[in-house]
């Protein structure tokens, strides 16, 4: 079991639960993947065992020859919720973080062709680096947060959560109508455009505005 780390030394012990991830939530990313956004959100799950933290390393698995970075806003659930309306959704949020949805793109492309699940492409150990969590009250509007990823100090992805095709409230409403969200669950809200390959030795630095940051390397 892994536990969240909080910014500013907040002393809470909250285990990391399921990681509910969204796909195609930014129009320009859908376009670069030669696909389109959908009316209803597309979701998949990553295992909690894939989480790593600041200053740790993404390990390239033997089964893949092509890893991609996807920088994403993370939403940490603070209270159990089921069938929540979008009006009440943010009451159930504990805080936010910056995350990386590391993807074995070669395995995912093959799975897409065959109509197979993405669990292998998305589920390797170390494939979900997450920053320290910032408590909700520190963030006035989660639907307007800058999201930046630099690889080896060069900007690879730069966007803002306002460009998501669904609001955070809508995402929580949608997921909680399918599965109960529990304290410690993490929603990874999907990546903006600019996804690209990472290689051994690369250093990734992701930021959620000036609010929180994450640094990991690739081994």
The nearer residue to Mg ion, 125 or 138, going by C-beta atoms, is 125
- Is position 70 an interface residue for Mg ion (rule: CB under 5 A)? yes
Instruction: Decide whether 6 or 128 has the Cβ nearer to Mg ion.
Output: 128
Min separation Cβ 21 and Mg ion, Å: 6
127 binds Mg ion (CB under 5 A): no
For 121-185, strand residue ranges (E) read 128-129, 134-135, 146-151, 154-160
User: Which is closer to Mg ion, CB of 69 or CB of 205?
Assistant: 69
Contact call for residue 191 and Mg ion (CB under 5 A): yes
| # binding residues, Mg ion (CB under 5 A) | 3
The residue number with the shortest CB distance to Mg ion is 101
Question: 101 or 132: whose CB is closer to Mg ion?
Answer: 101
Question: SS3 string of 43-109?
Answer: EEEECHHHEECCCCEECCCCCCCCEEECEEEEEEECCCECCCCCCCHHHHEEEEEEEECCEEHHHHH
Footprint of Mg ion on 90-119 (CB under 5 A)? 101
Q: How far is CA 27 from the centre of its chain?
A: 17
Cβ neighbours for 55, distance < 8 A, ≥ 6 positions apart: 215, 216
Interface ranges with Mg ion (CB under 5 A) = 70, 101, 191
């Amino acid at each position: 079991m892994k536990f969240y780390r909080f910014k500013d030394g907040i002393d809470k012990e909250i285990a990391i639960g399921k990681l509910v991830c969204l796909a195609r939530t930014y129009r320009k990313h859908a376009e670069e993947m030669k696909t389109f956004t959908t009316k209803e959100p597309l979701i998949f799950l990553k295992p909690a065992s894939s989480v790593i933290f600041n200053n740790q390393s993404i390990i390239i698995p033997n089964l893949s020859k092509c890893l991609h970075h996807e920088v994403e806003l993370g939403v940490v659930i603070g209270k159990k919720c089921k069938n929540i309306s979008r009006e009440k959704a943010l009451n159930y949020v504990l805080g936010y973080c910056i995350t990386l949805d590391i993807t074995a793109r070669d395995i995912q492309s093959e799975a897409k062709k065959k109509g197979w699940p993405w669990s292998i492409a998305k589920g390797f150990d170390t494939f979900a680096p997450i920053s320290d969590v910032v408590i909700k009250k520190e963030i006035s509007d989660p639907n307007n947060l800058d999201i930046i990823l630099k690889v080896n100090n060069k900007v690879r992805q730069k966007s803002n959560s306002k460009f998501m095709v669904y609001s955070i409230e809508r995402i929580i409403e949608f997921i909680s109508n399918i599965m109960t969200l529990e304290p410690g669950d993490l929603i990874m809200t999907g990546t903006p455009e600019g996804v690209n390959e990472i290689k051994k030795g690369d250093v990734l630095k992701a930021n959620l505005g000036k609010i929180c940051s994450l640094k990991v390397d690739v081994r």
